[in-house]
Amino acid sequence: MQKRILLLGSGELGKEFVIACQRLGQHVIAVDSYDQAPAMQVAHQCEVINMLDGEELDRIVAKHKPDLIVPEIEAIRTERLYDYEKQGMLVVPSAKAANFTMNRKSIRDLAATELRVRTPKFLYASSLDELIISVNKIGFPCVVKPLMSSSGKGQSVIKDITDIEMAWSAASKARGEATRKVIVEEFIEFESEITILTVTQKNGETLFCAPIGHRQERGDYMESWQPAAISSGQLQRAQKIAQKVTAALGGAGIWGVEFFLTKDDVYFSELSPRPHDTGMVTLAGTQNFNQFELHARAVLGLPIPEIKLERNGASAVILTESAGTEPVYSGLEEAANFPDTDFRIFGKPVTRPFRRMGVALAYGKEESTDELRARATEVAKAIRVK
């Protein structure tokens, strides 16, 4: 049966989700704050609104009367989602999940206080003076993040007291609301970071994708690879935590659950109730279903019997260096010459320094993830954005 799906946020993750939904015969309305966002280019209908404006959000929901509402970004008036749920619309994965995970305080309090899973030590601050006190309690180095942001925006590492004022300023200017309050987090001396893509189903068991390793710069994902190296004990602990947190939030869909791995332990970091940027690597055919196909099937209530790792893969982002409009891409022929690779251009109409404009992919059954990472990086370097 065809469903009307209202997608709130229309970036590159949303674009792949729309494609997955259309292949299952669904109707998608893509919403974002600017025209010609990537998902709008492939959706049946689109709307341009400020999703932090509750009345505008109400208007769009009333106009389209969707069966499902799928948030793709953080900057949404998330408390409105509870009302839509009461009206009989399905919020993906649930209004509680969207509301809690859009705000770091809610999800961290749930994980650390209610569920008692292991997280870095943390405190909150709502002024520069409070930040100074919190930093001194947590100790140096530490990490400061706005309560609501994505892709590392407004995030800083404080190494000494001279960094505090700059960190407060960066967090205060980050996207979204609640940015005048920040979380101060213990800096974990981790060996690696991983994402456990977790799929919750309406009428089936919770499933896990093979762990994904990733590297960040400026708080944003630069490359990812699957499978990531992790001990069986750590993997079991991470999956147990992922299942515990997603069960507490409720609903069906894919979740990107992030962890820090130390030599002997696992720390819960963050969680996104939707496809994850590091999960772009699944577009390299690493699994029988990529993360967007899994999300579409889960939210539509279609059974997913199993998730199988088919081959190794790696992804590397394609960035732009300057601000502008109507980007032009060169080097595509060179990039296409690499064996066992692919690339996706997202179609964003505007560039800015370090904006993610595409992704390069590499795959293979015999090559190690290190070899594939190097190849994906070469493909990404070949593509230039002007």
Query: Is 35 annotated in the active site?
Result: no
Could you tell me the two tokens for 324?
């502008």
Give the E-state strand segments of 204-355 in sequence order: 207-208, 212-217, 220-226, 253-261, 266-272, 312-319, 324-325, 329-330, 341-345, 350-351
Query: Is 191 annotated in the active site?
Result: no
Query: Cα–Cα distance between 164 and 48 in angstroms, integer?
Result: 37
Burial 354-373 (b: 16+ CB within 10 A, else e): ebbbbbbbbbbeebebeebb
Looking at 130, 270, 310, 334, which residue is catalytic?
Answer: 270
Query: Is 139 annotated in the active site?
Result: no
Give the helix/strand (H/E) hosting 233.
helix 232-249
- 47 forms beta bridges with 31
Query: Cα–Cα distance between 278 and 248 in angstroms, integer?
Result: 23
Tell me which residue of 319, 318, 268, 272 sits closest to 295, measured CA to CA: 272
Q: In what order do the strands lie in the sheet with 122-125?
A: 122-125, 182-186, 142-146, 156-158
Looking at 277, 293, 342, 367, which residue is catalytic?
Answer: 277
Sign (positive or negative) of CA dihedral 145, 148, 154, 155: positive
Query: Is 278 annotated in the active site?
Result: yes
Query: Is 163 annotated in the active site?
Result: no
The residue type found at 142 is C
Looking at 193, 258, 342, 367, which residue is catalytic?
Answer: 258
Looking at 10, 78, 224, 278, which residue is catalytic?
Answer: 278
Looking at 54, 152, 204, 285, which residue is catalytic?
Answer: 152
Phi, psi at residue 211, to the nearest 5°? -60, 145
Tell me which residue of 260, 298, 292, 344 sits closest to 38, measured CA to CA: 344
Q: Phi/psi zone of residue 145: left (φ > 0), alpha (ψ -120 to 50 degrees), beta?
A: beta
Query: Is 277 annotated in the active site?
Result: yes
Query: Is 342 annotated in the active site?
Result: no
Looking at 355, 356, 373, 375, which residue is catalytic?
Answer: 356
User: Environment class of residue 292 by beta-carbon count within 10 Å: exposed (0-12), middle (13-18) or buried (19+)?
Assistant: buried
The residue type found at 266 is V
Looking at 94, 101, 119, 150, which residue is catalytic?
Answer: 150
Active site residues: 150, 152, 258, 270, 277-278, 356
